Amino acid sequence: MQGGSNGIGYGLKYQARCIADVKADTDHTSFLTGTLSLKEENEVHLIRISSTGTELICEGLFSHPNEIWDLASCPFDQRIFSTVFSSGETYGAAIWQIPELYGQLNSPQLERVASLDAHSSKIKCTLWWPTGRHDKLVSIDEQNLFLWSFDTSKKNAQVQSQESAGVLHSLSGGAWDPHDYNALALTSESSLQLWDLRTMKKTNSIDHPHVRNLDYNVKRKYMLVTAEDESGIHIWDLRMLKFPVLDLLGHTHWTWTVKCNPEYEDLILSAGTDSAVNLWLASPSGDKPTSESFDSRNKPVDPLLNSYSDYEDSVYGLDWSCREPWIFASLSYDGRYVPLQPCILEIEPCVHDGVYAAEMECRILQEISLILSSMTFAVHVHAEASKPAASLQIEFA
């Protein structure tokens, strides 16, 4: 299904490519995003959805040194997050804390809680322990994997262990297994690698080049989704790594990022350099739905539920809300604002001849009580509209 976006627009002052759900905020649906300007002072925005769900509110705007290439929110403290940043020549990583009284200060400053300064290669990302209060986090550069111990009370981070991936592998990212906290999946130019944090050794790998990003299915053990250069996503069963169990082609250029829904096991988001965000409902079994799976009034189901195509540039940032898992945020590198059109995805279970299936229908509902159908809603952070701006959207799936 092709369609326009049904999101609430929010404009950033500069270009941007990373966004993260604030998982530890149980009272609000909120996201953190950071800008990517080489010459100007960069910013971190704390954005919340209003109680009515009709607008985005900037709860905090903070200065950040250098370009922000990666941002990850702490799972147990809503005021703590990590960034990977670059001055144009060198890369660094740090853990930051938002000031406690940030809402009452004119120019609040982020506190650098700890520096992850053991890297000698280009840093790619940081990963927090998947859930709950824990002192471990991981940082990944092009050649090495670091496991850190982070002490929030003493405000420092110590390297607990480190291992090289080898000079033949240029690491580009990774994901922490939510079902096995000792396991990581890493991406490189030539392979997908599985690592055990207890031994800091690689346990398995797939010779599969050009994987841009990956994410574990939180609700299905052994299931991993990868974003492919080959214009789509692959779903893998970690017990059978020879071939993907499902191959979904839905982008016209590189697929840059992929995110599994934190609550609904078969809902997947993907985005890429074709300026599109795709919403999938895909069973990892690899079995394509057929008409025999439904009663006579139903048609075979396309796993691509919707393709949001209102972006003006590549979409690098993407994340689901853990608090409200039917909402996701997307961030284009240099985007524009779009209409707010609430979209309701109805998934109704049905049984036919003993076969359990899902009847999917995606409908766009115009809610006059919220907005006029022709209205464009945007919250501007900047006054100079002529400057390039990144476009953040909150979607209602």
- Whether residue 108 has pLDDT greater than 80: no
Q: Is residue 136 packed enough to be buried (19+ CB in 10 Å), middle (13-18) or exposed (0-12)?
A: middle
* Phi, psi at 79, each rounded to 5°: -95, 0
CA distances to 9, 11, 12, 232, 374 from 47, rounded to whole Å, are 11, 11, 11, 30, 24
Give the per-residue pLDDT at 7.
Answer: 65
Q: Read off the tokens for 96.
A: 């930051």
Nearest alpha carbon to residue 49 among 69, 25, 70: 25
Most confident of 98-102, 112-116, 185-189, 245-249: 112-116
Tell me the torsion sign for CA atoms 240, 245, 250, 252: positive
What is the number of domains present in the chain? 1
pLDDT classification of 116: cutoffs 50, 70, 90: very high
* Phi, psi at 299, each rounded to 5°: -105, 160
Any idea what the CATH number is for the domain that residue 333 is in?
Answer: 2.130.10.10
pLDDT classification of 390: cutoffs 50, 70, 90: low
Domain that holds residue 189: 2-396
* Angle at alpha carbon of residue 314, lines to 306 and 85, rounded to 5°: 125
Contact call for residues 324 and 265 (beta carbons, < 8 A) = no
Residues in the chain: 397
Contact call for residues 64 and 18 (beta carbons, < 8 A) = no
Give the per-residue pLDDT at 282.
Answer: 87
Query: Is 272 strand, coil or helix?
Result: strand
Give this prediction's pTM: 0.82
Give percent above pLDDT 90 in the chain: 50
Nearest alpha carbon to residue 304 among 325, 280, 326, 283: 280
Q: List all residues 6 or more positions away from 114 whose beta carbon is below 8 Å from its beta carbon.
A: 94, 95, 150, 155, 156, 157
HSE toward the beta carbon, residue 31, CA cutoff 13 A: 25
pLDDT classification of 118: cutoffs 50, 70, 90: very high
Q: What is the mean pLDDT of the chain?
A: 79
Give the per-residue pLDDT at 300.
Answer: 54
Instruction: Give the mean model confidence (pLDDT) for residues 214-220.
Output: 96
Nearest alpha carbon to residue 2 among 329, 235, 302, 202: 302
Q: Read off the tokens for 94.
A: 């740090």
pLDDT tens digits along 9-49? 788 889 999 999 999 999 999 999 999 998 889 999 999 98
SS3 content of the chain, % helix, strand, coil (to 5): 0, 50, 50
Cα separation, 20 vs 8, in Å, equals 17
pLDDT tens digits along 266-295? 999 999 888 889 999 987 664 444 434 334
